[in-house]
Amino acid sequence: MMPIILVSPDTSLRTQKAQEYLLQNKLSQNHPDVLWIDDEKLGVEKAKQIREHLSLKPYQGKIPAVVVINAQNFTPEAQNSLLKTFEEPSSTALLILGAASDSQLLPTILSRCQIHNLLDTRILPESNKYEKEFEDLLKSDIATRFTYIEKLTDKEIFFHSLVNFFHLRIKSHPGDPEFLKNLLQAEKWLDANVSIRPILEYLMLKMPKE
């Protein structure tokens, strides 16, 4: 099954959601078929341990599972060493990563996972209200996009909705992974308290046109 990434700055929320996924598969955090990792340092040796665990047959349950609550602590080398695991996920294994922000993981990892933004789900219940606008903006010229951003009132909700929208599209639109890199950069700027309007204008310049 496709690996899952749970995104939220709240560690307890990531933990709760990961436990729910395990329960759906009749597993728990302390189950012998579950490798639960919450280490602060995650290098290539830990990545090797994950690969080995996923290759094992389950002892008691139906599938082996790996949960990495703080996947943002993976080194780039460790993420690259896991890339094949993400490219060819086992149909009989469960892999769950938690991260404070998806900008902390490599785009090559993100593009091969189901991404669930727990923060947006919890505090932005209207995050889908811009879907029609996104479709229109994809067909618009730069001037129209900039005019839209200028008049926009709830810019931060729009930003998070835009991130979610493109995460959902990434599997069916081959050109989107490049724009995902721009979104990741934009998230870093937002975390660094850069003003939201120039961030959105940058994204309007980079957004693909259909």
Helix (H, G, I), strand (E, B), or coil: what is residue 113? coil
Residue 42 is given by DSSP the state B
Number of domains in the chain: 2
Q: How far apart are CA 19 and CA 42, in angstroms?
A: 21
111 and 202 in a single domain? The answer is no
Tell me how far CA of residue 141 lies from CA of 54, 134, 159, in angstroms. 47, 13, 19
Burial (CB count <10 Å: 0-12, 13-18, 19+), residue 138 = middle
pLDDT, tens digit, for every residue of 174-195? 666 678 778 888 888 887 888 9
Indicate the residue among 123, 149, 179 that finishes a domain. Answer: 123
* Residue 159, token pair as written in the block: 């930003």
Tell whether the model's pLDDT for residue 124 goes beyond 60. Answer: no
139 and 114 in a single domain? The answer is no
pLDDT, tens digit, for every residue of 3-17? 999 988 788 889 999
56 and 114 in a single domain? The answer is yes
95 and 20 in a single domain? The answer is yes
Q: Are 92 and 65 spatial neighbours (Cβ–Cβ below 8 Å)?
A: no
137 and 175 in a single domain? The answer is yes
pLDDT, tens digit, for every residue of 128-152? 678 889 999 999 999 999 999 999 9
Q: Which residues contact 178 (CB under 8 A, 6 or more apart)?
A: 208
Indicate the residue among 123, 139, 168 that finishes a domain. Answer: 123
Q: Give the CATH number, domain containing residue 110.
A: 3.40.50.300
162 and 82 in a single domain? The answer is no
| Structural domain range at position 146 | 131-206
61 and 23 in a single domain? The answer is yes
* Residue 200, token pair as written in the block: 């959105």
Q: Are 76 and 106 spatial neighbours (Cβ–Cβ below 8 Å)?
A: yes
138 and 199 in a single domain? The answer is yes
100 and 38 in a single domain? The answer is yes
Q: How far apart are CA 44 and CA 35, in angstroms?
A: 16
110 and 77 in a single domain? The answer is yes
pLDDT, tens digit, for every residue of 79-107? 999 988 888 877 788 999 999 887 788 88
Q: How far apart are CA 135 and CA 11, in angstroms?
A: 33
151 and 66 in a single domain? The answer is no
Question: What is the pTM assigned to this prediction?
Answer: 0.64
Q: How far apart are CA 96 and CA 127, in angstroms?
A: 24
Amino acid at 193: N
